[in-house]
Structure formats: C-alpha cells, structure tokens
Amino acid sequence: MKIINVPIPKYPWPYLVGPFVESFTQDEIDWYDTDFTFMSEATREKYKKHGLAQATSYMFPGADTIEKIRPICRFMIWLTLYDDYYELCPVDELAVIRDRIMEVMLGASLKPDDIGLIRQVAYCRDEFRPYANNEWFDRWTQAFYRYTTYGLMEETPYKLSGKMPTLNNLLLIREYSISMYTFGEPVELTIDFIMPGYIAEHPAIQRIKMLMCRIIAIQNDLASLQKELAVETEILNIVLVIQHQYKISLEEACVETIRIHDEYVKELQDMETNLPDFGIYQKDVEKYIYYMILMITGLGAWYYKGTSSRYTVPGAFPKPEYGITSSNVPE
C-alpha cells in the first residue's frame, strides 16, 4: 500500500473539549456487549477501541452536564454502527429499517423483535426528551430520513458496482451520508435554545449547515484516506474521485481537496460574521452557529488528538455485517 503525506485541514476557529471526555468509557463497552450482540464479537472488540463516546465531548463542548451528553454519546454510537453495519444493505431493505428507526425516534414503543440498536434509539430518545420539544424531534427524525435516503442509499449503487461518481455527485451525496445534518441537531439542546421553525428553515441557517456537512465530509475523507487506500471497494472518497476524474496523482488530488475544503471554510467564516437579523433571537442564533462550528474543529481535533484506532490502526475498521451470519463474519 502506498503511503502518502495526507494534509491536515486547518481552521480559523478554536476547538474546545467538554468535561466528560472519559466519562462514558465503561458505559460504551457495556452498550456494545448488551445491545449490539447482533454484531460479531470480533467487530464489537474493534468498536471498543474506537472511542466514539469520547468524540462527543470534542464535538459538543457546550454540554455542561453529564445528563445532556449521555444521549449524545448513545446517538454517536448507534448512528455510527448503523452506518457501518448496513453499509451494503439493499436499499429496499434499508428503507424498512430506516422507517422503523424513525418510528421509535418519534415515540413508538419497542417491539419484541427489535434488535438492540433500536433499543439504543429508544433510550437516546427518552434521554433527549427533557431538553427537546416535538418540533425538535420532528427535525431530528427528518434529518435522519434525509441522511439515510439521500446519503446511504445513494452511495449503495456505487459501492456495489465499483463505479465512481463524478465529483459534483459525490459532494452532494457525501453532504448527506456524513450524517452531520442528523448529528448536528443536538447542538440546540446543549445550549438550551430550540430554534423556532422560521429560523431553522431560514436559507442562511440551511446554507451554514450545508457548509458544515461538506467541510466535515472532506475532513473525514482526508482522515480516512490512508485506511481506504488499503480497501479496494472504498471508492467514495473525495481524494480518490478527484484523482480518477482529473487523471492526476494522489498528491495532486490532496491539494485540490484542500482547495475545495478551504473555499467552504471561507464561505462559512463570511456567513458567520454576516448573519441576517434574527431580532430577539440574534444572540441565541450567534451562539448556535458558534457551537455548530465547534463541531467541525472538535471533530478535526479528535481525529488527530483523540485515542481512537478507527482511522489509524490497520484492520481496526469493521467490515459491514448485515446479511452475514455470525459463523461466517470476516475478520
């Protein structure tokens, strides 16, 4: 495998780390061994070294109590494992799974045949409830729908065929499949500000969210590039798509990737300092945008300063297991 010097994105903003960065180490292990036993033991052991709960304190430094960060830790874990486990799931089957998760996110009771991942969704929902209203739950659930439908389901045909998308198609798909529209929703809960619908739907807020998603998608692709170079089927990486589309070297593709990333950063910085007038909510919106941006810098810091093996250790990334029985799960 070729080793390349992958550039690390830089930002004009700081990063902060919340006070609960190591508070859920044992809880995370217990959740894997209690509610994710539909996955192989080998895969669960890999996840125990990924530090996913730790990442939430990097991304949500505004959560000032352990009660606020707990459901976000659960969310980070069940959403990430959902993404990994169902990576190659046929889209018609994934639609059924998506719809069941949405029912539970909105308040449906658990069924006897729900797997442990669904139980974690219900626990997460109930722990969010003291801090959220019905409008927020609707937004959270719709964001999950768009992530699955316009992200994961759009990726599947490319992954199964081995055909690369164009750069523009990839950027649009990754905007959703990175899951940050969904995972960004709890920012409101950590700062005790549920946005009124007319603000949440404002084009400026929507554009800021889009920029955040694309920046984090590129950030993720750079952090995972070395790992994905070792896997022949990993083709939905912006660096690899740029290299393929423009017939250039990996190093040149990295340079172009950083250029695109930095253009998004410049636009986000400009929007942050030139927000529309939101009247009595202006300070609240400014705080919200600030903590949204801290998700970018926090995740970037976690990639390179955290203790996760997910992106750095060969073989640490689990293979998708949906449809594979426990007796023939690949190591």
Q: What is the pLDDT of residues 19-35, one digit of tens each?
A: 999 999 999 999 999 99
Q: Which DSSP string corresponds to 169-195? A: HHHHHHHHHT-HHHHTTTHHHHTT---
What pTM value is reported for the model? 0.93
Q: What is the pLDDT of residues 40-58, one digit of tens each?
A: 999 999 999 888 999 999 9
**Are residues 292 and 277 in contact, defined by beta-carbon separation less than 8 angstroms?**
no
Other C-beta atoms lying within 10 Å of the C-beta of residue 69: 27
Name the amino acid, one letter, at 145. Y
Q: Six-digit token pair at 305?
A: 């300063």
Q: What is the pLDDT of residues 94-149, one digit of tens each?
A: 999 999 999 999 999 999 999 999 999 999 999 999 999 999 999 999 999 999 99
